[in-house]
Amino acid sequence: MKITVDEIEPIERYSYLEVGTGQANNGKPIIIHKELPIYLGEFENEKANIDFLIVCSDLQGAIEKTVNTN
């Protein structure tokens, strides 16, 4: 199966929250507001009779720590 994604401009963005690895000054975990871009694409597979296909990435993972240089 060959999947081609049009990464020029997302058709939609899905907002979600992620817990960061650090802590705020009050000792609580840092909550990060993120957006998942949704793109259109095409797929090719001569052996399958598929009308629509949703491909997604695992949203879990670690946020890189940012260093404040101010």
Structural domain containing residue 6: 2-44
The answer to whether residue 58 is domain-embedded is: no
Residue pLDDT, tens place only, 22-47: 888 888 888 889 988 888 888 887 78
Residue 32 domain flag: yes
- HEC profile for the chain? CEEEECCCCCCEEEEEEEEEEEECCCCCEEEEEEEEEECCEEEECCCCCCCCCCCCCCCCCCCCCCCCCC
Please indicate, yes or no, if residue 13 is contained in any of the structural domains: yes
The answer, as to whether pTM is greater than 0.85, is no
Comparison of pLDDT for 7 and 37, the residue scoring more: 37
Report the number of distinct structural domains present in the chain.
1
CA distances 38 to 21, 27, 41, 54, 60, Å, are 26, 34, 10, 10, 17
Residue 15: inside a domain? yes
Is 62 inside any structural domain?
Answer: no
With tokens 């650090």, the residue in question is: 22
Domain for residue 54, yes or no? no
Q: Quick check: is 70 in a domain?
A: no
